[in-house]
């Protein structure tokens, strides 16, 4: 009898313990959930992009991030989209012609939207990829394609080049300046045409030497600093004192030549403000850079897609929209900025029409 009573008491005790344990477990789980929720809330408070599923693809052409000019400008726009619009950025570089199609396929297949395609050389590839992925928006820098899901992003390079051409003429002591282009194609001829027109608007008698590093399709033209240096050195020796290079990474050879040629020799950069990738010695020879705001184009395209604009169409970035311009880093243009701004206003108003062909 006593044994039965003891078993009953033990059973009651175990039941009570189970209830207490269960209650404690519930409290612990609730506490854990509360901590998890609090931590998530804290993370969301400190990281406004927490939980964002926005994805942006960036298809670089040759040179990629780190080229100091064209691709780096696109990269800055993507970085801004990441920090301000909460995109996760995936980027791929085409190191050969055969890379372009698989890179676009990979970026599209990974769910990126939009996919920004950097460079005219993607022509012939983007048409196929965009048609196969109608729910993905593509932004094509320097392209031309009329498809409902492709935003074509072009620039008035001739207008920005007009201003640095005027700056060159205003600063030249010898009356001879130069232009080095990458591939000899219509796009780069816009740079040349604007540069010559700007220089002659200041000094009709100025001599402008021009030379290209390669024919259309010669991708080595964008990565031949040795060739650009050789040309620039010859021109500096022959009396030119300012050389503008629109040839991607090849332009690094021109600034090296200016340094080697010595005092009074200047180089003009392109696309990005190259003053910020120059060494201290090179900075002393970087007169200015023609700014091509690919960063603005990339950022605004990403912003439009985030806000629901999934349409295609054509957008030109010019002086009026701050799509092109000139750099003042180093202070070498400070004394002529009023004259350049006056010319800029005339281009914007239409009083001056800048040519697109030399």
Task: Give dist(CA 268, CA 9) in Å, integer.
Answer: 95
Bridge pairing between strands 324-326 and 286-292: antiparallel
Q: Is the pLDDT of residue 110 over 60?
A: yes
Which residues contact residue 68 at a Cβ distance below 8 angstroms, ignoring those fewer than 6 apart? 249, 251, 252, 272, 274, 277
In 3D space, the residue among 234, 228, 276, 216 whose CA is nearest the CA of residue 252 turns out to be 228
What average pLDDT does this structure show over 173-190?
98
pTM of the model: 0.83
* Percent of the chain surpassing pLDDT 70: 87
**3-class DSSP state of 1:** coil
pLDDT (tens digit, 9 = 90+) per residue, 62-94?
Answer: 889 988 888 999 999 999 999 999 999 999 999
Same structural domain, 77 and 198: no
Same structural domain, 81 and 172: no
Minimum mean pLDDT range among 48-52, 164-168, 254-258: 48-52
Minimum mean pLDDT range among 30-39, 306-315, 336-345: 30-39
The token pair that represents 294 in the structure block? 């690919």
User: What is the reported pLDDT for 281?
Assistant: 98
Look-up of token digits 């970026």: 107
**Which value, to the nearest 10 degrees, does the dihedral of the CA atoms of residues 81, 82, 88, 94 take?**
60
In-domain check, residue 43? no
User: What is the reported pLDDT for 323?
Assistant: 95
User: What is the reported pLDDT for 45?
Assistant: 61
pLDDT (tens digit, 9 = 90+) per residue, 259-268?
Answer: 999 999 999 9
User: What is the reported pLDDT for 63?
Assistant: 87
Same structural domain, 150 and 170: no
In-domain check, residue 303? no
Same structural domain, 120 and 202: no
In 3D space, the residue among 232, 258, 242 whose CA is nearest the CA of residue 206 turns out to be 242
Q: How many CB atoms lie within 10 A of CB 234?
A: 14
Task: Give dist(CA 81, CA 55) in Å, integer.
Answer: 10
In-domain check, residue 31? no
Same structural domain, 112 and 143: yes
In 3D space, the residue among 273, 274, 228 whose CA is nearest the CA of residue 253 turns out to be 228
- pLDDT band for position 207 (50/70/90)? very high
CB 191 within 8 A of CB 156: no
**3-class DSSP state of 328:** coil
Residue ranges making up the domain that contains 262 = 158-291+328-349
- Domain end call among 155, 183, 206: 155
- pLDDT band for position 47 (50/70/90)? confident
Q: Is the pLDDT of residue 18 over 90?
A: no
The token pair that represents 132 in the structure block? 């196969």
Kind and range of the H or E element at 3? helix 2-46
- Domain end call among 105, 125, 155: 155
How far apart, in Å, are the Cα atoms of 110 and each of 56, 93, 113? 10, 16, 9
pLDDT (tens digit, 9 = 90+) per residue, 122-176?
Answer: 999 999 999 999 999 999 999 999 999 999 999 999 999 999 999 999 999 999 9
- pLDDT band for position 7 (50/70/90)? very low
Domain count for the chain: 2
Same structural domain, 233 and 86: no
CB 245 within 8 A of CB 209: no
**Residue 99: CATH number of its domain:** 3.40.50.2300
User: What is the reported pLDDT for 42?
Assistant: 54
Task: Give dist(CA 59, CA 197) in Å, integer.
Answer: 33
- pLDDT band for position 31 (50/70/90)? very low
In-domain check, residue 6? no
Same structural domain, 170 and 141: no
Same structural domain, 253 and 280: yes
- Domain end call among 155, 175, 202: 155
Task: Give dist(CA 337, CA 334) in Å, integer.
Answer: 5
CB 105 within 8 A of CB 81: no
What average pLDDT does this structure show over 21-46?
52
In-domain check, residue 257? yes
Q: Is the pLDDT of residue 8 over 80?
A: no
User: What is the reported pLDDT for 346?
Assistant: 98
Same structural domain, 206 and 69: no
Same structural domain, 222 and 247: yes
- pLDDT band for position 39 (50/70/90)? low
- pLDDT band for position 11 (50/70/90)? very low
In-domain check, residue 263? yes
User: What is the reported pLDDT for 67?
Assistant: 87
In-domain check, residue 136? yes
In-domain check, residue 174? yes
Same structural domain, 148 and 60: yes
| Centroid of chain to Cα 163 | 21
Same structural domain, 281 and 339: yes
pLDDT (tens digit, 9 = 90+) per residue, 217-252?
Answer: 998 999 999 999 999 999 999 999 999 999 999 999
Mean pLDDT of the chain: 90
């Amino acid at each position: 009898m006593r044994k039965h009573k003891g078993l009953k008491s033990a059973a009651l005790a175990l039941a009570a313990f189970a209830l207490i344990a269960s209650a404690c477990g519930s409290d612990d789980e609730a506490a854990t959930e509360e901590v998890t929720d609090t931590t998530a809330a804290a993370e969301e408070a400190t990281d406004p992009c927490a939980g964002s599923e926005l994805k942006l693809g960036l298809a670089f052409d040759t040179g990629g991030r780190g080229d100091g000019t064209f691709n780096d400008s696109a990269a800055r726009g993507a970085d801004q989209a990441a920090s301000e619009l909460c995109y996760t950025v995936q980027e791929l570089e085409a190191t050969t012609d055969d890379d372009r199609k698989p890179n676009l396929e990979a970026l599209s297949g990974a769910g990126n939207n939009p996919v920004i395609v950097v460079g005219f050389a993607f022509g012939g590839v983007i048409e196929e990829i965009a048609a196969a992925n109608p729910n993905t928006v593509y932004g094509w820098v320097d392209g031309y394609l009329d498809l409902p899901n492709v935003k074509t992003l072009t620039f008035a390079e001739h207008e920005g080049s007009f201003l640095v051409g005027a700056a060159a003429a205003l600063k030249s002591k010898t009356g001879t300046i130069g232009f080095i282009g990458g591939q000899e194609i219509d796009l780069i001829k816009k740079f040349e045409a604007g540069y010559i027109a700007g220089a002659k608007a200041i000094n009709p008698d100025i001599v402008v030497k021009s030379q290209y590093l390669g024919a259309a399709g010669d991708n080595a033209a964008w990565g031949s600093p040795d060739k650009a240096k050789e040309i620039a050195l010859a021109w500096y020796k022959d009396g030119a004192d300012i050389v503008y290079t629109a040839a991607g990474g090849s332009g690094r050879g021109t600034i090296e030549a200016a340094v080697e040629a010595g005092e009074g020799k200047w180089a003009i950069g392109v696309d990005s403000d190259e003053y910020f990738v120059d060494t201290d010695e090179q900075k002393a020879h970087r007169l200015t850079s023609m700014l091509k705001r690919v960063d603005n184009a990339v950022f605004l395209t990403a912003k439009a897609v985030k806000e629901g604009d999934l349409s295609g169409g054509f957008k030109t970035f010019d002086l009026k929209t701050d799509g092109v311009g000139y750099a003042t880093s180093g202070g070498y243009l400070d004394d002529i900025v009023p004259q350049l701004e006056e010319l800029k206003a005339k281009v914007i108003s239409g009083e001056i029409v800048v040519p697109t062909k030399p």
